Amino acid sequence: MRKRIPLLRNRHLVQRLGFSLLTLMAALTVLPIIGVVLFIIKEGLPAISWEFLTAMPREGMRAGGILPAIVGTLYLTLGTAIFSVPLGVAAAIYLAEYAPENRLTRLIRIAIINLAGIPSVVYGLFGLGLFVLFLRFGTSILSASLTLSIMTLPVIISAAEEALRAVPQAFRTVSISLGATRWQTIRRIVLPQAMPGIITGIILGLERAAGETAPILFTGAAFFLPRLPHTPFDATMALPYHLFVISTQVPEMPFQIQYGTALVLIVFVLSMNLIATIIRSRARARRQW
Amino acid sequence: MNETLSWKEYLITRAIKVTGYSAIVFVVLIFFFLLREGLPTLAEVPLSTLFSIRWYPIEGYYGILPLLSGSLIVTLGAALIAIPFGIGTAIYIAEIAPRWMREILKPLVELLGGLPSVVLGFLGILVLSPFLRRLLDLPTGLTAFTGSLLLGGIAIPTVVSIAEDALDAVPRSYREAALALGATHWQTIWRVTLPAARSGVLTAVMLGVGRAIGETMTVMMVTGNAPVLATSPGALFSPVRTMTATIAAEMGEVAGGSVHYHVLFFIGLVLFLISLAVNVTASAIVFRTRTRAERILS
């Protein structure tokens, strides 16, 4: 007679159960994401019209378009790029090409990890304290962009450093042996090779900045401003903050406008995500090393 | 080498070195400004008031305990969701999924990481909270539990991507050795791969939890904003208010330099110190295991 194996001793059965459980967990994690995106597209699409994208809000934001919010988010994203890209890429070059392996470098790395972990609302407080009040930039695009830049910095530095480190050492050795200086080697050889990775990191960093609300709450966001900002010292409406305002602060807000705004925001953010993914996979396919 | 070139190169190299330290400079600056604006609290508000259970700034009650408990309970709930699902998904992606599935799942999880938190809060208000209110028969759907569910979703991408990297970094030979000894694929994952990657998985959990504590917009929108001290597990199903939400909701309406303003910066300081502790511990784990691995391999 065959001896019965206790249920949980049967390791192949356990494996099958375990794998099913993990598959189920992965599905429960991923399916809601698809659901959320499809739901917003479905509910928001009817609101999208030429007027919605290009007109000023009217009737206490309950009608008209969201142009100032779209333009504001564009300005903030550009402003963030102006400050964070040069600084972030230069810092990454330092870490990847110059930094010695010592205590100080380790401290820099810990600082980067910490910057990445600081709550976004704390960045908002910092921006309020330093840029708005201490430096007297006021509630403005400038203050908000600077605040978002510092928040974006760790993302750009880590991604760019990784891209630079991925360039094989042989490239540098050959360049130096041909008589190029260290900077010429970095500028002409290493940077171009690492460029797709760096750009991907920049876009992912800016994507995060474009979708953030908490850091701009008290540094640059305007509740309602039915005109486009003229100078960097103007406050501005922004898509994420506008979505927050119309979904919590304005009574009797038509659902369609809320979903429409959410749709424009996620299209803005996810198209950046998509561009980054495409650049990365094309560069990976073309890479010869 | 001509003279101008080396001079230019010297300047560029200098500039790059200076920017290298920028991360340290910014962490110090942030800490400094939080101290500058937050520490006056200790002179203006008696400690017994600060650590009391009543938050009602208009009448001068600045008890931060309800806010601490609010953050704690929402984060705990989020961790209970994000840790199993995050690690489970990471194991599935790294060890079980076929290649084509990986290529689909990884960008999807990244996509969740890229969704603005305000969008999740928005759906929380319009869809999730009415649904939970009916499902659980609660007086309001804006509760700590609603916040935990959404916050779990926000923390998952962090947990998945770091844990998956850690599992990926486990040498192939470990798995091959286990399989060669007759272990099943499942036993290999459970007894060999996961333990070998444990420091990375631990880092993933810590950073995921850190992400949850600091999240602002979603919790402000869906947790109901009631600064009530959580005394029982039942508080999970009632409205709470977190530290982050308090700052975001009230900072816009206070006068610069007032007591209320200083207390909000003080709360910011507490949040900063929590994230500092989480991240320094997490990076200490990473550095320690790296040096240990280097010792063994050398």
For residue B293, the model assigns a pLDDT of 59
Cross-strand partners of A63: A58
Q: Residue A271 and residue A236: Cα distance in Å, rounded?
A: 23
Note which residues in 202-221 of chain A have CB less than 8 A from chain B.
Answer: 204, 207-208, 210-214, 217-218
Nearest residue in chain A measured CA to CA from B249? A217
Per-residue pLDDT tens digits for A113-164: 999 999 999 999 999 999 999 999 999 999 999 999 999 999 999 999 999 9
Per-residue pLDDT tens digits for B5-55: 688 888 998 999 999 999 999 999 999 999 999 999 999 988 888 888 888
Determine the distance in angstroms separating the CA of B233 from the nearest CA of chain A, rounded to an integer: 25
Nearest residue in chain B measured CA to CA from A39? B123
Q: Residue B133 CA to chain centroid, in angstroms?
A: 27
Mutate to test the interface with B, among A9, A24, A118, A208 (most CBs of B within 10 A): A118
Question: Among A203-207, B90-94, B235-239, where is mean pLDDT lowest?
Answer: B235-239
- In chain A, residues with a C-beta closer than 8 Å to the C-beta of B36 are 129
A158, B162 Cβ separation under 8 angstroms: no
Q: Is the pLDDT of residue B295 over 70?
A: no
Is the minimum CB–CB distance between A178 and chain B shorter than 8 Å?
Answer: no
Q: According to the 3-state scheme, what is the secondary structure of A139-169? A: CCHHHHHHHHHHHHHHHHHHHHHHHHHHCCH
A264, B142 Cβ separation under 8 angstroms: no
Which of these, B249, B222, B206, B28, lies nearest to B124 by C-alpha position?
B222
Q: Is the pLDDT of residue B231 over 80?
A: no
For residue B297, the model assigns a pLDDT of 52
Please judge whether A247 and B116 are an interchain contact, meaning their C-beta atoms are less than 8 angstroms apart.
no
Per-residue pLDDT tens digits for B153-199: 999 999 999 999 899 889 999 999 999 998 999 999 989 999 999 88
Count of other CB atoms within 10 angstroms of residue B254 = 16
Domain ranges of chain A: 71-283
Q: Residue A252 and residue A238: Cα distance in Å, rounded?
A: 21
State in words which class domain A71-283 has: mainly alpha
Choice between B109 and A226, residue whose per-residue pLDDT is larger: B109
Q: Is the pLDDT of residue B298 over 50?
A: no
For residue A205, the model assigns a pLDDT of 92
Is the minimum CB–CB distance between A161 and chain B shorter than 8 Å?
Answer: no
Which of these, B77, B100, B90, B12, lies nearest to B238 by C-alpha position?
B77
Per-residue pLDDT tens digits for A60-73: 788 888 999 999 99
Average pLDDT over residues A258-286: 89
- In chain A, residues with a C-beta closer than 8 Å to the C-beta of B126 are 247, 255, 258
Please judge whether B248 and A255 are an interchain contact, meaning their C-beta atoms are less than 8 angstroms apart.
no
Domains identified in chain B and CATH numbers: 22-297 (1.10.3720.10)
For residue B76, the model assigns a pLDDT of 93
Average pLDDT over residues A86-110: 93
For residue A267, the model assigns a pLDDT of 94
For chain A, give the mean pLDDT.
90
For residue A5, the model assigns a pLDDT of 57
Average pLDDT over residues B79-93: 95
Q: Which ipTM value was assigned to this complex? A: 0.89
Please judge whether A248 and B221 are an interchain contact, meaning their C-beta atoms are less than 8 angstroms apart.
yes
Per-residue pLDDT tens digits for A161-203: 999 999 999 999 999 999 998 899 999 999 999 999 999 899 9
pTM of the model: 0.91
Mutate to test the interface with A, among B10, B28, B111, B117 (most CBs of A within 10 A): B111
What is the pLDDT confidence band of residue B290, given thresholds at 50, 70 and 90?
Answer: low
For residue B242, the model assigns a pLDDT of 93
For residue A277, the model assigns a pLDDT of 84
Q: How is chain B split among helix, strand and coil, in percent rounded to 5?
A: 80, 0, 20
Please judge whether B21 and A134 are an interchain contact, meaning their C-beta atoms are less than 8 angstroms apart.
no
Q: Is the pLDDT of residue B4 over 80?
A: no
Q: First CA to last CA across chain B, in angstroms?
A: 41
Is the minimum CB–CB distance between B182 and chain A shorter than 8 Å?
Answer: no
Can you spell out the DSSP letters for A258-274?
HHHHHHHHHHHHHHHHH
Choice between B100 and B285, residue whose per-residue pLDDT is larger: B100
For B283, the closest of A32, A113, A128 (CB atoms) is A113
